[in-house]
Amino acid sequence: MSEPRKLYVKSFGCQMNVYDSRRMADTLAPQGYVEIAAADDADLVILNTCHIREKAAEKVYSELGRVRRLKEAAAADGRRVIVAVAGCVAQAEGEEIIRRAPAVDLVFGPQSYHRLPELLARAARAGKAVDTEFPIDDKFDHLAAPTWEATRARGVCAFVTVQEGCDRFCTFCVVPYTRGAEMSRPAAKIIAEIEHLAAAGVREITLIGQNVNAYHGAGPDGRPWSLARLLHRVAEIDRIARLRYTTSHPGDMGDELIAAHRDLPALMPQLHLPVQSGSDRILAAMNRRHTRADYLDIVRRLRAARSDLALTSDFIVGFPGETESDFAATLDLVEQVGFAGAFSFKYSPRPGTPGAEMADQVDEAAKAERLQRLQAAIDRASAAFNRRCLHRTLDVLFERAGRHGGQLVGRSPYLQPVQVAAPAALIGEIVPVTISEIASNSLFGTLAANAARDMARHVERPFVGAGA
């Protein structure tokens, strides 16, 4: 029997890339590739890249410097290492990557990774291969499903891509160019994938997409299903106890989806709903096609449906033309909404997007200073949200062993990490935990009295993931 080949995949950027990286590893498993955790003795290194901000793209080139040295060291030992660049930088830069980093053998975009075995064979024959086409065939139809063992090793929470690409063309964003037009997977295929995950012990599913709430995949009757309808159907799958979805655009937050937050107990009271700015002038320049008032109205309707909803968001500071008073409107929105947390970024002009061509680019020093003020406001809001959880009893889904012996890490319904002294047998279980302490945004808790009693009766070892 031939030796297994070692595969190292490094993901940059969003959860969609993490999902894609796993599907690449699944596709290469039948070719004899086993995934390893470090690049050092890999035969194939794949960097699955992100192009959303300049910094993210530059990280790839610095990582390629490290990989080149590994490749040279392996060659000195008579071993060939294949280096591949996948994802959105690959899509945006194509052959340019090989010109800039000649150690790279293979470049392929997010729509081509089902062709990986064939591309590798091509790179082995011809030395180099580049594939940044948007093929008409659906890559999801050709990707191998993960093995039962691989699924179990990845833990009790899983991401499932249901939608890809975007037609909204926000003026700062590269996604419509790198991921292409919006495409929704048929509901039956998503359901089959989740049933497979559930059978291997997965308890929580996050449906993901660049604009996930625009989901409109074909239902089993051939008619389009909304995300709300899909969520209701996924909630019926045995053993799936928790559902989430990300990332959503406010413009696609319809009544049916808002009602699902009221009607579907499995749908966790947590939502990531990027707003980007609190200023109508900037929202219009960003082509967001919603106003500050629209956003606040959605928040009001969501909270009417689910009063304890934990809302998180994304913000961009220093978009072209942003004045101090536009920025003050953003700070004011943060105060008004009371976010449980948020990501905030300095605007990064991306080649080929309208924002990069706009006059009135904001200088870096102003962006940095605004970012600091915004982050301080977000930290205050997030600390206030966490404080409200102190001494409450929350259901925690235990995911993995903690850093200290005898400790497990899980997530509250609001997606907060919670650390608890508890036995590994509880991984995969949802257990009431009383929050006893909050330190630097981490929650600590103790098993609630009834959980401790049930645990004493717990004989089975239900799920032990890789981290256990």
Least distance (Å) between residue 169 CB and ligand SF4: 6
Task: Give whichever of 276 and 419 is closer to ligand SAM, judged by the CB atom.
Answer: 276
Task: Give whichever of 27 and 210 is closer to ligand SAM, judged by the CB atom.
Answer: 210
Task: Give whichever of 156 and 166 is closer to ligand SF4, judged by the CB atom.
Answer: 166
290 binds ligand SAM (CB under 6 A): no
Identify any residues that bridge with 355 across adjacent strands, giving them in sequence order: none
Task: State the binding string over 234-253 for ligand SAM (x if CB under 6 A, else -).
Answer: -------------x-x----
How many positions of this chain bind ligand SAM (CB under 6 A)?
18
Task: Give whichever of 28 and 282 is closer to ligand SF4, judged by the CB atom.
Answer: 282
Which positions from 353 through 372 interact with ligand SAM, judged by CB under 6 A? none
279 binds ligand SAM (CB under 6 A): no
- Among ligand SAM, ligand SF4, none, the one that 350 touches (CB under a kind-dependent 5 to 8 A) is ligand SAM
397 binds ligand SAM (CB under 6 A): no
214 binds ligand SAM (CB under 6 A): no
Task: Give whichever of 132 and 361 is closer to ligand SAM, judged by the CB atom.
Answer: 361
Q: How far apart are CA 422 and CA 252, in angstroms?
A: 41
Q: How far is CA 179 from the centre of its chain?
A: 15
175 binds ligand SAM (CB under 6 A): yes
Q: Which part of the chain contacts ligand SAM (CB under 6 A), choosing from 58-66, 277-285, 345-353, 418-426?
A: 345-353
What do you get for the CA distance between the two ends of the chain, in Å?
A: 31
For residue 103, give the amino acid letter: A
Least distance (Å) between residue 351 CB and ligand SF4: 15
89 binds ligand SAM (CB under 6 A): no
Task: Give whichever of 82 and 175 is closer to ligand SAM, judged by the CB atom.
Answer: 175
Task: State the binding string over 294-333 for ligand SAM (x if CB under 6 A, else -).
Answer: --------------------x-x-----------------
Q: How far apart are CA 103 and CA 99, in angstroms?
A: 9
- Where do contacts with ligand SF4 occur on this chain (CB under 6 A)? 166, 168-170, 173, 175-176, 210-211, 249
Q: Which part of the chain contacts ligand SAM (CB under 6 A), choosing from 129-137, 237-245, 341-349, 451-459?
A: 341-349
Task: Give whichever of 161 and 419 is closer to ligand SAM, judged by the CB atom.
Answer: 161
- Among ligand SAM, ligand SF4, none, the one that 169 touches (CB under a kind-dependent 5 to 8 A) is ligand SF4
Q: How far apart are CA 321 and CA 312, in angstroms?
A: 25
Task: Give whichever of 48 and 246 is closer to ligand SF4, judged by the CB atom.
Answer: 246
Q: Which part of the chain contacts ligand SAM (CB under 6 A), choosing from 72-80, 170-178, 219-227, 262-270?
A: 170-178
Task: State the binding string over 33-52 for ligand SAM (x if CB under 6 A, else -).
Answer: -------------------x
229 binds ligand SAM (CB under 6 A): no
173 binds ligand SAM (CB under 6 A): yes
Task: Give whichever of 17 and 416 is closer to ligand SAM, judged by the CB atom.
Answer: 17
| Residue of 9, 14, 107, 309 that binds ligand SAM (CB under 6 A) | 14
Q: How far apart are CA 170 and CA 168, in angstroms?
A: 6
Q: Residue 58 in contact with residue 93, Cβ under 8 Å?
A: no
Name the residue among 270, 338, 340 with its Cα closest to residue 302.
Answer: 270
Per residue, the 3-state secondary structure of the chain, as one string, reads: CCCCEEEEEEECCCHHHHHHHHHHHHHHHHHCEEECCCCCCCCEEEEEECCCCHHHHHHHHHHHHHHHHHHHHHHHCCCCCEEEEEHHHHHHHCCHHHHHCCCCCEEECCCCHHHHHHHHHHHHHHCCEEECCCCCCCHHHCCCCCCHHHHHHCCCEEEEECEECCCCCCCCCCHHHHCCCCEECCHHHHHHHHHHHHHCCCCEEEEECCCHHHCCCECCCCCECCHHHHHHHHHCCCCCCEEEEECCCHHHCCHHHHHHHHHCCCECCEEECCCECCCHHHHHHCCCCCCHHHHHHHHHHHHHHCCCCEEEEEEEECCCCCCHHHHHHHHHHHHHHCCCEEEEEECCCCCCCHHHHCCCCCCHHHHHHHHHHHHHHHHHHHHHHHHCCCCCEEEEEEEEECCCCCEEEEECCCCCEEEEECCHHHCCCEEEEEEEEEECCEEEEEECHHHHHHHHCCCCCCCCCCCC
- Among ligand SAM, ligand SF4, none, the one that 5 touches (CB under a kind-dependent 5 to 8 A) is none
Q: Which part of the chain contacts ligand SAM (CB under 6 A), choosing from 58-66, 104-112, 167-175, 395-403?
A: 167-175
Greatest extent of the chain over all pairs of C-alpha atoms, in Å: 68
Which positions from 442 through 461 interact with ligand SAM, judged by CB under 6 A? none
Residues that bind ligand SAM (CB under 6 A): 14, 52-53, 172-173, 175, 210-211, 247, 249, 274, 276, 314, 316, 345, 347-348, 350
